[in-house]
Chain A
Amino acid sequence: MHSCSVTQPTVHSATHTANHKAGQVFERALNKQDIKRYSRQLMLDSVEDEGQAKFARSHAVVIGLGGLGSLVARYLAGAGVGTLTLVDGDTVDISNLQRQVTYNEMHLGELKAKSLYNELRKVNSRLNIKFKSLYADSKNLPTLISTADCVLDCTDNIETRKHINTATLRASIPLFIAAASGLSWQALNLPQNNKRIGCYACLVEYIDVREDCLSRGVLGPVVGMAACHQATQALLFLAKGFNADIKWGHYLTGNADLGSLKSFMLPPSSTCEVCHDPN
């Protein structure tokens, strides 16, 4: 089972705010517990105390909670991203357990968004975690992402990916995309506010991308590689903003069998219906 389903289940959502209101966790200097919890990343020049404080004030929206999103969300929660919105209308199926590592047999049949919400609360009870058990579409996306500092596209179908691209571009919200199939994984960081960089619609313009999550199969760790890259890029951005040392507008392709990585610049298309401005 995957999140391509066209059926719209009853919408379930909730907001969990633990003992501390989100965004207030690091208003003061880091306390002893914070320093211990986040010590391994506080050592990094790309995070430090300032980046950790920014994590706490940040809101990331993770759309699609399968092999990519469930792992991405786990890393963002572990790192202390203050507000997380988890979006997926799918339920946990036994075929998911091969690669969607935050779910187990106890979750079978449950809504992924709620299951993940419950698991992430156990990881970091100080976060403001919201879940939306629905499928993202052109109508609900503007509201879902309206307060986001970044959006992570972890979906598995081309139409939803196009809608996410359009919504983030219109709202000028940075978008981190990842995908995987077979032994290949791919990723793209889009600032969504730079006319010298193409958008996802420019990439797939005129291309018939196959809905290959079911037909081609995928090895579990390959999805994990994509998710780890995607979470890393988002965290580096949330810590340093556009000063982060990450590449925007470069399409990364990885082949897990060969252990190879390549990166290609994505220029804007002069005929793109989403990002091209004739003026």
Chain B
Amino acid sequence: MTQIKVNVNNQPMNVISPISLYELIALKQINVDGTAIAKNAAIVSKRDWSTTYLNDNDTVDIFTLVAGG
């Protein structure tokens, strides 16, 4: 296990590797309803959150999808 530095929503964050996107969401206690995640500026399907792991210096953006108009 090693510590890596990632950037989550423009904030630097130290996490213990290996860590998946799903585990990151749980760690940050974010409600997954309506939530989308992009890793290194590419959206990751929710199906793949648990198998997509973070590397050192990865950028993660977590945002809520909206549908109003």
Which residues of A line the B interface, CB within 8 A? 64, 66-69, 154-158, 161, 178-182, 184-186, 198, 202-213, 216, 218, 223, 226, 251, 253, 262-267, 269, 271
Contacts and interface: CB of A to CB of B under 8 A. Distances in A.
Given A205-B47, A271-B47, A264 B65 contact: no
B43 interface: yes
Nearest to A260: B10
A203 B36 contact: yes
B1 interface: no
A137 B45 CA distance: 26
A184 B64 contact: yes
A209 to B, nearest CB: 5
Nearest to B47: A206
A180 B45 contact: no
Query: Which 5 residue pairs across A and B have the least CB separation, nearest first?
Result: A213-B68, A181-B66, A264-B38, A206-B46, A68-B69
A264 B69 contact: no
Contacts, number: 97
B41 A264 contact: yes
Given A210-B33, A210-B34, A264-B38, A204 B43 contact: no
B45 to A, nearest CB: 5
Contacts of A213: 67-69
Nearest to A272: B45
Given A203-B36, A205-B47, A181 B41 contact: no
B33 to A, nearest CB: 5
B16 interface: no
Given A263-B41, A266-B43, A269-B45, A207 B66 contact: no
A158 B67 contact: yes
Contacts of B63: 184, 253, 262
B69 A212 contact: no
Given A203-B36, A207-B46, A179 B41 contact: no
25 contacts: A66-B69, A155-B69, A179-B65, A179-B67, A179-B68, A184-B63, A186-B66, A204-B65, A206-B46, A207-B34, A207-B46, A209-B66, A213-B67, A213-B69, A216-B68, A251-B36, A253-B61, A253-B63, A262-B63, A264-B43, A264-B61, A265-B38, A266-B42, A266-B43, A271-B45
A205 B69 contact: no
Contacts of B57: none
A184 B34 CA distance: 13
Contact of B69 (A178, A207, A262): A178
